[in-house]
Amino acid sequence: MNINLTPGPSQLFYTVPDHARHAFKEGITSISHRSKTFESYFQKATEGLKELLGIPTDYFIFFTGSATEVWEKSIQNLVENSSMHLVNGAFSNRYFEIAKQLGKHAQKMDAPLGQNFSSIPITNYGTELIAITQNETSTGVSLTNDFIREVREKNSEALIVVDAVSSMPYPALDYSQIDSVFFSVQKGFGMPAGLGVWAVNPRCIEKAESLLARGISIGSYHNLPTLLLNALKNQTTETPNVLGIYLLSCVVEDFLRIGIKKIRQETDYKAAILYQALRAHPLMSAFVKDESAQSKTVIVADCGEHSIRISNYLSEHGFNPGEGYGEKKKSQLRFANFPAHSKEQYERMVDLIENLR
Amino acid sequence: MNINLTPGPSQLFYTVPDHARHAFKEGITSISHRSKTFESYFQKATEGLKELLGIPTDYFIFFTGSATEVWEKSIQNLVENSSMHLVNGAFSNRYFEIAKQLGKHAQKMDAPLGQNFSSIPITNYGTELIAITQNETSTGVSLTNDFIREVREKNSEALIVVDAVSSMPYPALDYSQIDSVFFSVQKGFGMPAGLGVWAVNPRCIEKAESLLARGISIGSYHNLPTLLLNALKNQTTETPNVLGIYLLSCVVEDFLRIGIKKIRQETDYKAAILYQALRAHPLMSAFVKDESAQSKTVIVADCGEHSIRISNYLSEHGFNPGEGYGEKKKSQLRFANFPAHSKEQYERMVDLIENLR
């Protein structure tokens, strides 16, 4: 037994190796991305994602090489001049940096490390795009629907883009309050890395088209109008990661069979027992103190000087947590809590943590 | 038996399913792209490619989501104002279109359909970048090292970027005459799609850095300085297609074991017997008449009204050629000739073609 609890790439969902074996056996890796067979996988993946996550039918879903790519493409396609980035850790800060690299007037608001924005009043930012990292993989800080709703209320004219890279499929987002969401598949979907998923509503398409009409460069093969033109045929612009899209169509079907309600309940349960263990532990504690800001899918533990000892102890028993991020590399451990991690595994790991003194 | 002869995605190289099985079994799909293990695959793939293809040691090799992405990134990073595109088919024309979309002053020179540029005098184009599609997948027109050398001689100041998407690893390019080459892995390398390979020399890095220093946007996470910063650590900027990079490291090792000389000889042999059959055939003929322009890796046959009948006949015997491209969709067939296609398969297919009257 060797359970990968790093927050991404993470443990494969248990069905994935079989789906991959089928793909190789049936020659799915050699099919044309212009074939009816490919179109059926594209359609199954995108329609399945809408059903699983409750994404409205008028949204469009596109595939990219990574979620990092969506950072770039969302700025290029949705921002003429200015974006506002709500920064709650290293990854939301990279999104901000990318906007600056692309020559936009990017501003940011930093939450204190390990906290959400509850101490910072939300105002009208007078900006075109607000970037919200719903689940910050570096800190384990999560933002609520209520918070996103408040941002929207004060900024009705801005496009709200939500990075849910390390929480999907867990969060029940209120899509009436956002315009776009994106994530990658090597975390909550338990798949091999190499595929980003980008959902946008018609407002985003209109914005990209208006930039294009005014002669502003919005990129080429992966700009929104080009992605849309192909997605309407259940195709992609370029030769994509066909295997990845096929595997996603299979995993989404598996998740639909299990039911999103059960996936969310199990995620809540596993998070609850781990946070409970951290509250009571003499050597470890939750980095995020405010319970309403505690991520259910990336649980970050302050371990101080005991990090390596705890990590080694868990590894000896088959559980491999992630290191802390950046300056917290040596003093924290991060525990992914994805559908690939079973209740039984979490119970066993929490027992081990409780037994460590 | 079901042999895929479409020019991409194409037949898997025979070792790939086993390599993939190993990757899933050993948890390679879950490893961190910041781990030593990943770095070892990155290094094995890039150093192996240099050895296999004879790429000079001072070149850098980067990974993208697709070769289409390299069209975009090469223009963004290597062109301030103008590029010249030698267009010998639909894909070289898309490269040209992308340069225009990115707001560059892009010019093109069209070869007559199915021909190379032998009828067009090469001059100094007074441009920053010259895009050469060494093997045009839509027409089966291939360009020689001598031609590239002449372009270089007349344009020593321009960067020469070679699209070898559907010919690698076959062509023995003269790297002293070019500055960059790119390709994808679902063709000659017989791998699942979803990975582009981009090799650049130091002149390309300098050009990107000079654009950046002058405040020109060269993109973000996949601009050349950022790709380089990570590649020097055998890493990638984003979470990449880890499985793809691992499989490439394995296939390159397999190809090195076989030897590039033998791969090229077998490619020549298979091309020779198919072109020979086309020369003698009452219903089919080579689309590219000039032998020096005939691609060895994508062999395009004019079949007129007999296309569907010939395609069905070959399919019944397990061989699936690709359709023609664009306006030639119904009147041509395209035969990939990659390392995944064995001599024995080609001999059998050529027998079938010869027996068809």
- Residue ranges of domains in chain A, CATH in brackets: 16-257 (3.40.640.10), 259-355 (3.90.1150.10)
Residue B64 touches partner A, C-beta closer than 8 Å? yes
Using CA atoms, how far apart are residues B179 and B224, in angstroms rounded to an integer? 14
Across the interface, do A30 and B10 touch by the CB < 8 Å criterion? yes
For A355, the 3-state DSSP assignment is helix
pLDDT at position B261: 98
B197-226 per-position pLDDT tens digit: 999 999 999 999 999 999 999 999 999 999
Q: If pLDDT is split at 50, 70 and 90, which confidence band does B60 have? A: very high
String of DSSP letters for A3-29: EEESSSS-PPPTTHHHHHHHHHHTTGG
- The counts of H helices and E strands in chain A are 11, 14
**Residue B245 dihedral angles phi and psi, to the nearest 5°:** -65, -40
pLDDT at position A214: 96
- Are B193 and B174 a contacting pair, CB within 8 Å? no
Residue numbers in A near B244 (CB within 8 A): 194, 241
Neighbours of A177 (CB within 10 A): 17
In A, minimum Cα distance to B16 occurs at: A24
Neighbours of B164 (CB within 10 A): 28
Using CA atoms, how far apart are residues B152 and B159, in angstroms rounded to an integer? 9
Across the interface, do A220 and B72 touch by the CB < 8 Å criterion? yes
- Are B199 and B46 a contacting pair, CB within 8 Å? no
Using CA atoms, how far apart are residues B115 and B123, in angstroms rounded to an integer? 18
| Mean local confidence (pLDDT), B126-130 | 98
Neighbours of B24 (CB within 10 A): 19
- Are B325 and B90 a contacting pair, CB within 8 Å? yes
Residue numbers in A near B102 (CB within 8 A): 217, 219-220
Using CA atoms, how far apart are residues A319 and A337, in angstroms rounded to an integer? 12
Using CA atoms, how far apart are residues A13 and B152, in angstroms rounded to an integer? 51
What residues contact A259, with CB distance under 8 A and at least 6 apart?
none
Chain A nearest CA to B115, separation (Å): 25
ipTM of the complex: 0.96
Task: Give yes or no for residue B1 having a pLDDT over 80.
Answer: no
- Are A147 and A156 a contacting pair, CB within 8 Å? no
Residue B220 touches partner A, C-beta closer than 8 Å? yes
Residue numbers in B near A16 (CB within 8 A): 24, 29
pLDDT at position A1: 74
**Residue A142 dihedral angles phi and psi, to the nearest 5°:** -115, 150
Chain B nearest CA to A203, separation (Å): 22
Q: Residue A54 to residues A12, A168, A175: CA-CA distances in angstroms?
A: 24, 12, 8
Angle at A138 between CA A137 and CA A143, to 5 degrees: 55
Query: Which residues in B72-83 are b (16+ Cβ under 10 Å) and which e?
Result: bbbbbbbbeebb
String of DSSP letters for A34-57: TSHHHHHHHHHHHHHHHHHHT--T
Q: Which of residues 168-197 of A touch B (CB under 8 A)?
A: 184, 186, 191-195
Using CA atoms, how far apart are residues A70 and A86, in angstroms rounded to an integer? 17
B162-203 per-position pLDDT tens digit: 999 999 999 999 999 999 999 999 999 999 999 999 999 999
Q: If pLDDT is split at 50, 70 and 90, which confidence band does B8 have? A: confident
Residue numbers in A near B30 (CB within 8 A): 4, 6, 9-12
Residue numbers in A near B4 (CB within 8 A): 27, 30
Q: Residue B39 to residues A127, A219, B47, B246, B255: CA-CA distances in angstroms?
A: 40, 30, 12, 10, 21
What residues contact A208, with CB distance under 8 A and at least 6 apart?
A77, A78, A218, A223, A224, A225
pLDDT at position B247: 98
A244's torsion region: left (phi>0), alpha (psi -120 to 50) or beta? alpha
CB-based burial label for B210 (10 Å; 0-12, 13-18, 19+) = exposed
Q: From the list A32, A67, A221, which residue is nearest B6 (CB)?
A: A32
> How does pLDDT run along chain A (357 residues), one tens digit per residue?
789 999 989 999 999 999 999 999 999 999 999 999 999 999 999 999 999 999 999 999 999 999 999 999 999 999 999 999 999 999 999 999 999 999 999 999 999 999 999 999 999 999 999 999 999 999 999 999 999 999 999 999 999 999 999 999 999 999 999 999 999 999 999 999 999 999 999 999 999 999 999 999 999 999 999 999 999 999 999 999 999 999 999 999 999 999 999 999 999 999 999 999 999 999 999 999 999 999 999 999 999 999 999 999 999 999 999 999 999 999 999 999 999 999 999 999 999 999 998
Using CA atoms, how far apart are residues A295 and A171, in angstroms rounded to an integer? 10
Residue numbers in A near B6 (CB within 8 A): 30, 32
Task: Give yes or no for residue B252 having a pLDDT over 90.
Answer: yes
A16, A243, A320, best to mutate vs chain B, most B CBs in 10 Å: A243
In A, minimum Cα distance to B104 occurs at: A217
- Are A212 and A224 a contacting pair, CB within 8 Å? no
DSSP code for B193: S
Across the interface, do A69 and B238 touch by the CB < 8 Å criterion? yes
Residue numbers in B near A64 (CB within 8 A): 65
Q: Which of residues 85-104 of A touch B (CB under 8 A)?
A: 97-98, 101-103
pLDDT at position B176: 97
CB pairs under 8 A between A and B: 173
